[in-house]
Amino acid sequence: MRDFRKKVKRQFPLYGQGWLVYVLAMAAASVLCLLLQRVSTSDVHVPLVFVLAVLIVSLLTRGYFYGLLAALTSVFAVNYAFTEPYYKMDFLSYGYPLTFMTMTAVGCAVSGLTSLMQERQRLRTESEREKVRANLLRAVSHDLRTPLTGISGSLTAVLENRGELNEEQTRTLLADAREEADWLCRMVENLLSVTRIGDGPSGKIHKQEELPEEVIGAAVLAFRKHNPGLPVQVSVPEEPIFVPMDPVLIQQVLGNLMENAVAHGGQVSAIELRAEMEPGQLRITVADDGCGIDRALLEHLFDGSRPLHDDTERGMGIGLTVCRTIVEAHGGRISARNRPEGGAEISFTLPTGETANDDQG
């Protein structure tokens, strides 16, 4: 019985946007027919106008309820207000049964097709989410094991060889353990961000108007603490602009991209970070002068499926997958390419329009 109620609720949902579409479509059809009555002596156009309204309602709403309601409303409106005898119900007039069946069939058919497409889209989205979960799990299983093994090995060496290690050797092992612990902390932050955002790009984020140079500056400052000898060149628009974003998450994206350039870019001697305004969006690019990205990896760089060369290599999957999740949750896109002059660059966009100002939930 509960499953039956769920199925009925899914096929006949009631929600505010559906009522709005229904009311606006019926009102627009009625106004248009009233206007056409003044310039036309025939009412043959009236059923066509309301069939179009039923079609629009069925396409723009979920389930069958609003399409059927629009069909019934249209049949009575056509019969009562827009065909002779005016303002009088006449269920036996010529063509009325055919009009009733046609509008009802249109409402059912289009609502059914719309529900079918929405269901297929839901299944496709769930399939993509499961793929992302599997890739994240695979990347996490490797990325957790690597730093934990390093921390355990360094601390074990210090504890078991306390009388044999000099101060410099002990300091080196402890510094290695701290580096691995820092790496582990950043990875846990990535995982927490994925949990915070939720499944897919429709997760919850809280945007506010931010100056990109401030967010970029904070990310660069944090990066320099771990990489003090690596220069970072920053370029931002001269005129101050405000862009809707979650500053903490965007800082995390920038940090992941810069850390990824250091870890996997080869002999990287400098990093360039650019922010450029484009029509309707802000583009931020992180570039390096390293060895570039293998062409075979470019297509799957952000889905966490990058193959690892050996068990000691840190994976790229989790950090870049989190970057894509955060960027898409903001309504943007992320991409990577190799630079003609050498090295690689990863850029992502953030919408600046009014639609970007709303919190996603």
User: Any residues with CB less than 8 A from the CB of 185 and at least 6 apart, and which?
Assistant: none
Helices (H), the chain: 2-11, 16-39, 45-60, 65-81, 96-160, 167-197, 212-226, 247-264, 295-298, 317-329
314 near 187, Cβ under 8 Å?
A: no
pLDDT at 122: 79
How confident is the model at residue 267, as a pLDDT?
83
pLDDT at 44 over 70: yes
Q: Are 265 and 343 in contact (CB under 8 A)?
A: yes
| Predicted local distance difference test score (pLDDT) of residue 141 | 67
Domain 200-361 CATH superfamily:
Histidine kinase-like ATPase, C-terminal domain (3.30.565.10)
Whether the CB-CB separation of 330 and 205 falls below 8 Å is answered with yes
> Mean per-residue pLDDT for 298-306?
69
The full set of domain ranges for the chain reads: 2-125, 200-361
More confident residue, 250 or 145: 250
When pLDDT is averaged across residues 290-315 and rounded to a whole number, the result is 64
Mean pLDDT, rounded, for 16-35: 92
Q: Which two tokens stand for residue 227?
A: 């990489």
pLDDT value of position 239: 87
What confidence category does residue 294 fall into, taking pLDDT thresholds of 50, 70 and 90? confident
Q: How many CB atoms lie within 10 A of CB 263?
A: 14
Per-residue pLDDT, averaged over 332-354, amounts to 89
Q: What's the token pair of residue 45?
A: 């156009």
Specify the pLDDT at position 334: 94
pLDDT at site 284 = 96
pLDDT above 70 covers a percentage of the chain that reads: 79
pLDDT tens for residues 158-202?
A: 888 877 888 888 889 898 888 788 777 777 776 776 666 654 444
Do the Cβ atoms of 39 and 32 come closer than 8 Å?
A: no
Share of the chain above pLDDT 90, in %: 21
DSSP letters, 287-304, are EE-SS---HHHHTTTTTT
pLDDT tens readout for residues 55-110: 888 888 887 788 888 888 888 888 788 877 777 776 666 566 776 677 677 767 77
CB atoms within 10 A of CB 169: 13
Examine the pLDDT at 307 and tell me if it is beyond 70.
no
**Minimal CA–CA distance to 277: which of 326, 324, 242, 329?**
242
Q: Give residue 133's pLDDT.
A: 66
**pLDDT of 210:** 92
Is 360 a residue whose pLDDT tops 60?
no
Per-residue pLDDT for 359 more than 80? no
Measure the CA angle with vertex 69, ends 65 and 73; round to 5°. Answer: 175
